[in-house]
Amino acid sequence: MSPSLFRRGEKEKPPDTEPEEARVTELDWICGEDKEVCQALLHTMFLDPRKISVTIKDAAKKAADLEKKKENERARMWYHVAGGLALWEGDTAKVKQYFGKCEKLAPKMGYELINKIPEKAVAKAQEYYKHHLK
């Protein structure tokens, strides 16, 4: 008797799957056990802010102008740019200010985490940038 072409009745065995090794990124390594800071930075920081051709001041001005025009989504985007650049510069007050505006304009987009721990986030972002942007 030859084997069935369609293997009717035979259940296909799933391939042996080993648990995928947890991939540790440089940011994970820098943040260590503080997953809250890592999550906040994953959502807000730029990997290489030197490539952004706008200044914090200009991004904040564009955001404020758009907010006055009630273009909240575009304003939030520009506040995010300003906040990301503030992380790079290590300016905790501006990080609070700009990501606070982001949270106000888009409360369900996850900005509450960075606003809860801005000092720790700035410290870890600075550590990352010192290591990667020499």
Confidence of residue 6 (pLDDT cuts 50, 70, 90): low
> Would residue 10 count as lying in a domain?
no
User: Which of 17-26, 81-90, 108-117, 119-128 has the least mean pLDDT?
Assistant: 17-26
pLDDT tens digits, 40-55: 898 899 989 999 999 9
Which position has the higher pLDDT, 32 or 86?
Answer: 86
- For 88, the 3-state DSSP assignment is helix
Radius of gyration of the chain (CA): 22
Domain range holding 112?
26-132
> Would residue 8 count as lying in a domain?
no
pLDDT tens digits, 74-116: 999 999 999 999 999 999 999 999 999 999 999 999 899 999 9
> Would residue 112 count as lying in a domain?
yes
Averaged pLDDT for residues 50-70: 97
Number of domains in the chain: 1
Look at residue 20 and tell me whether its pLDDT is greater than 60: no
Through-space distance between the first and last CA atoms of the chain, rounded to whole angstroms = 70
Residue 29, burial from CB neighbour count under 10 angstroms (0-12, 13-18, 19+): exposed
User: Which of 35-49, 50-64, 116-130 has the least mean pLDDT?
Assistant: 35-49
> Would residue 9 count as lying in a domain?
no
> Would residue 118 count as lying in a domain?
yes
> Would residue 16 count as lying in a domain?
no
- Do 128 and 32 touch, CB atoms closer than 8 A? no
- C-alpha span between 52 and 128 (Å, rounded): 17
At 28 the pLDDT is 75
> Would residue 123 count as lying in a domain?
yes
